[in-house]
Chains A and B, each alone.
Chain A
Amino acid sequence: MSPAISNAYAHMDSKGTLTIENKNITDVENALQIGYTIEEMAVRAEGFLRGVGLIKTFAPIVYFVAHGSSSANNPHHGAHDCGACSGRPGATNARVQSFILNHKKVREILATKGIVIPDTTQFVGAMHDTAADVMGYYDEEILSAENAKLHLLNKQNFETALNLNAKERSRRFASINTKQELEQVRKAIHSRSVSLFEPRPELGHGTNTLAIIGRRQTSKKLFLDRRAFLNSYDYTTDPTGDILTAVMRPIGLVCGGINLEYYFSRVDNIKMGAGTKLPHNVMGLFGVANSSDGDLRPGLPWQMIEVHDPVRLLVIVEHQPEMVLKAIQSSPEVFEWYKNEWVHIVALHPTEQQFYYFKNGVFEKYNPITEAAEIKTIHNMEQFIEGAKEMETNHIVHATEENLPVYLLD
């Protein structure tokens, strides 16, 4: 990759070693402990696994797939990286949690707490480049001979999925013919992501609208057009709702924050957004301005928000409404997002299969008025993507017509 590129994979060397385990707690630098002790690792491992509901039935390989974004000539590249990693690529986190969960002593502690990870299961760090649709893997050499074989097969499947993903994304890029062969589309996506001339290496969080907190089966059969934050959470492992409280803590701040940054940059791109990228000058490596005499331009540039529907986030939580209420009321900062309706929240009662919408401090029943027949089914994804409508201009009415309605998946 050219040195003109802001390369997400350059943030950490895949061949380098990390000081993850702390064997001496006096090992400190600038008041920071270098690495985690075994106990500290076990606490984080348990918290993470319970949070996503992955406490049994482990596959032979569990991948932690971080994400980052490589692009050229793009001062806003940090806005394309991982928000939960303070706007940086998350590969190091994927590698660290994989190391922790592969650690024999951590597994022994986890086993005492009822989480038994088979010896044959191995965790592998990886990172998805969301602009180039490339996947990089870390510490593959730790895999057992058997898992190494499985990993090779899995990688092929990841590659096929990346091809399809590139095709799906390409429908929004005027420079790419979506109907080309999959490999050609993928190549075009990659070239485009690192082109000096391309102001839209990817579209970032544009169109984000939903946050679904629940089991995968809640969203698996739906085509949501890349509009949903998806947080795994299994209510069956959390009858008291304590895990949900921890899960909900960052949702308003992270997902709501992203959503409202896009909302306001979209509705007022002059005062709350950064305007078009094309005349931007990078100021001191910390901001952008139009010309050297202009004001700094906070917010997002036009090229990142033009396809965005300015709507608030709808958070959908799979649990009983009283549990959801308890979780969002856990702190005033968390509750403010919902109480003041800067984001909407709906509880999906898992046994009743009934929605409850939070309004004026209470969850009330909500029954969708959409008829079942109105929701169509996608039978062939590639054909569907090729046939999807393209915008005539980037005027709001045209641009957001590209945002597809919900579909069922065959």
Chain B
Amino acid sequence: MNNISFDEKHAIHELKHFLPAQQALKDFIHHNSLHAFQHMKFYDGIFKASKIFGFQVHLQLPEYRAMYQTGRIREDVLQMVIANKKGKENSNDWKQKLLTKEYDTINLPRIRQLRKYWKDVYHIDLDNKVHPLLFRILCAFLDQGIAINSFPVVNKPFLESIKEMEQNSFVSFFKTKVVRQQFLSGNYSISSLLKTIVGKEEYYEQYLFDQQFSHHGWSGFVSAVEDNPQTLLDRKQITLKELIEFELLLELDTLNNVLGKKWQPLTNNVTISPIAIFADVEKTELAQVIELWQDAFEWSYYDSVLKGILIANTKNEESNEISTQFLSTVGDKTFQAIFCIDEREDSIRRHIEAVDKNAETLGAPGFFGVEFYFLQQGSKFYDKLCPAPVTPKYLIKEYDAKAEKKGELIYTKLTHGILSGFLLSISFGFWAFAKKYNYYLTQK
């Protein structure tokens, strides 16, 4: 991080590693939100992520203490956890820390410490000036068909599309001619823009992290689309590099427009040294206290489940012995039902087995061992029907379907018009109010 010489490729690679990896909502695949720290031990990873990005990575200390008071965190389990991790001889000392000691819980993250100087020194909120326009352009470019007006340039990479619009339009995204000309000439790079905006090279990477994590949702999505273009049915060509270049140009444009010539590269006015964002994080006493609380919270449930399994298995063995003695009473299975391993199916399986004692239920990952793309009749797009990391070699197509594929009202654009949007909003608002009112009147 503290490299004096800036390596653009490395910086972009690092950014992509730490940005959220969520794809389009239609492909919502749950994953570890801190996947970038998974090579570390859990507690080391989460506390480091917290120090770098300012994430809250555990419950608040008063919440653990409240759960201890209500018995959700068990005293005996807490004792066990403390003894295992800190030794029996230190148990009382640590228990007092957990229960009563006051800690300074303010976390000053390493991110966003450099770019804040725009506000401090020049009293300009760059995010506020740049983000609304940037987000609208990104959204319009990536739109999947819900915008009233589609993006005017199709099938071209992001920056080429913007360039074409700039060349063929009477208006411009840029407010200053100089930056517009620079953009149109293509005579720029991330390094050259950073030199103008940031100044000293040793701050470049820190600046980019500050900038991209001021909108980690958009940056993460652009990065995800770059890596997995198929996440968008209407594919778009965009890279994180293009986003950074365009954002730096917009920042430069804003600085020139608002401050004219009365500004210098940011680091000319910065007295702090570059921050080693990814330097090791010291384990504080508070972190150790949180670790003990979290373990105790987890094992308060786990321990009883494990005991329950032992008791249930003992009962199973007893009932099996009885069954063996009275074989005639054991009927054949009426049916077997194989569900997904999904924890939501736990209860329906339990109820099925209660309703029909001779039914057997099983669980397996819900793609049931067959991996393929599915093409619904009338659809242009393949749907992957297997776990995300698997790339199927097979296609299964639907034909002779009786139901016609219709547009879904949920994707209506009607709410976007000024009049229709207004009318629909107030209609649904009053309807919702009436329903709520009715609920309170009837009180369940």
Could you show 13 A-B contacts with beta carbons less than 8 Å apart? A3-B409, A13-B401, A45-B369, A65-B338, A82-B340, A84-B341, A84-B366, A86-B387, A96-B372, A261-B30, A261-B31, A407-B308, A409-B350
Query: When the two chains form their complex, are residues A283 and B298 in contact, meaning their CB atoms are under 8 A apart?
Result: no
Of the 9-residue stretches A105-113, A158-166, A236-244, A321-329, which lies at the interface with chain B? A158-166
Chain A residue at minimum C-beta to C-beta distance from B151: A284
Q: In the complex, what distance in Å separates the CA atom of A190 from the CA atom of B315?
A: 37
Q: Which of B28, B55, B311 contacts A76 (CB 8 A)?
A: B28
Of the 9-residue stretches B116-124, B179-187, B377-385, which lies at the interface with chain A? B377-385
Query: When the two chains form their complex, are residues A15 and B401 in contact, meaning their CB atoms are under 8 A apart?
Result: yes
1/0 contact trace for B297-337 toward A, CB 8 Å?
A: 11001111111111111111000000000000000111111
User: Shortest beta-carbon distance, A331 to chain B, in Å?
Assistant: 12
* Given known A150-B334, A342-B32, contact A59–B360 (CB-CB < 8 A): yes
Query: When the two chains form their complex, are residues A96 and B215 in contact, meaning their CB atoms are under 8 A apart?
Result: no
Query: When the two chains form their complex, are residues B26 and A87 in contact, meaning their CB atoms are under 8 A apart?
Result: yes
* Given known A75-B25, A164-B355, A312-B298, contact A257–B394 (CB-CB < 8 A): no
Query: When the two chains form their complex, are residues B311 and A372 in contact, meaning their CB atoms are under 8 A apart?
Result: yes
Query: When the two chains form their complex, are residues A161 and B396 in contact, meaning their CB atoms are under 8 A apart?
Result: no
* Given known A268-B57, A341-B41, contact A79–B360 (CB-CB < 8 A): no
The tally of residues in A whose CB lies under 8 Å from a CB in B reads: 176
Of the 9-residue stretches B135-143, B201-209, B279-287, which lies at the interface with chain A? B135-143
User: Shortest beta-carbon distance, A253 to chain B, in Å?
Assistant: 7
Q: In the complex, what distance in Å separates the CA atom of A79 from the CA atom of B67?
A: 29
Query: When the two chains form their complex, are residues B32 and A256 in contact, meaning their CB atoms are under 8 A apart?
Result: yes
Query: When the two chains form their complex, are residues B377 and A13 in contact, meaning their CB atoms are under 8 A apart?
Result: yes
Q: Does B102 belong to the interface (CB within 8 Å)?
A: no
Chain A residue at minimum C-beta to C-beta distance from B408: A3
B140 neighbours in A (Cβ, 8 Å): 284
Query: When the two chains form their complex, are residues B55 and A32 in contact, meaning their CB atoms are under 8 A apart?
Result: no
Q: Does B22 belong to the interface (CB within 8 Å)?
A: yes
Total A-B pairs, Cβ < 8 A: 510
A136 neighbours in B (Cβ, 8 Å): none
The tally of residues in B whose CB lies under 8 Å from a CB in A reads: 149
* Given known A44-B369, A250-B387, contact A397–B70 (CB-CB < 8 A): yes
A83 neighbours in B (Cβ, 8 Å): 29-30, 342, 366, 387
Q: In the complex, what distance in Å separates the CA atom of A370 from the CA atom of B365?
A: 32
Query: When the two chains form their complex, are residues B398 and A85 in contact, meaning their CB atoms are under 8 A apart?
Result: no
A85 neighbours in B (Cβ, 8 Å): 366-367, 384-386
Query: When the two chains form their complex, are residues A67 and B145 in contact, meaning their CB atoms are under 8 A apart?
Result: no
Q: Does B195 belong to the interface (CB within 8 Å)?
A: no
Chain B at the A interface: SS class = mixed
Query: When the two chains form their complex, are residues A369 and B409 in contact, meaning their CB atoms are under 8 A apart?
Result: no
Q: Does B170 belong to the interface (CB within 8 Å)?
A: no
A169 neighbours in B (Cβ, 8 Å): 347
Query: When the two chains form their complex, are residues B395 and A161 in contact, meaning their CB atoms are under 8 A apart?
Result: no
Q: In the complex, what distance in Å separates the CA atom of A6 from the CA atom of B382?
A: 18
- Write the residues of chain B forming the contact surface with A, with a CB cutoff of 8 angstroms: 20, 22, 24-34, 38-43, 45, 53-59, 63, 66-67, 70, 72, 76-77, 80, 131-132, 135-136, 139-140, 142-147, 215-218, 220-221, 231-232, 294, 297-298, 301-316, 332-356, 359-370, 372-374, 376-377, 382-389, 392-403, 405-411, 428, 431-432, 435, 439, 444
Query: When the two chains form their complex, are residues B333 and A59 in contact, meaning their CB atoms are under 8 A apart?
Result: yes
Query: When the two chains form their complex, are residues B401 and A67 in contact, meaning their CB atoms are under 8 A apart?
Result: no
Q: Which of B66, B308, B350, B409 contacts A397 (CB 8 A)?
A: B66
Q: Which of B38, B143, B366, B402 contacts A340 (CB 8 A)?
A: B38
User: Contacts A78-B25, A88-B385 given; 5 further ones with Cβ under 8 A?
Assistant: A81-B28, A157-B356, A205-B342, A219-B309, A222-B305
Q: Which of B28, B310, B347, B361 contacts A87 (CB 8 A)?
A: B28
Q: In the complex, what distance in Å separates the CA atom of A217 from the CA atom of B353?
A: 12
Q: Which of B34, B294, B368 contacts A66 (CB 8 A)?
A: B368
Query: When the two chains form their complex, are residues A18 and B398 in contact, meaning their CB atoms are under 8 A apart?
Result: yes
* Given known A157-B355, A231-B365, A254-B387, contact A86–B335 (CB-CB < 8 A): no
Query: When the two chains form their complex, are residues A340 and B28 in contact, meaning their CB atoms are under 8 A apart?
Result: no
B20 neighbours in A (Cβ, 8 Å): 298-299
User: Shortest beta-carbon distance, A42 to chain B, in Å?
Assistant: 12
Query: When the two chains form their complex, are residues B398 and A79 in contact, meaning their CB atoms are under 8 A apart?
Result: no
Q: Which of A3, A100, A231, A311 contacts B297 (CB 8 A)?
A: A311
Q: Does A358 belong to the interface (CB within 8 Å)?
A: no
Q: In the complex, what distance in Å separates the CA atom of A270 from the CA atom of B55?
A: 9
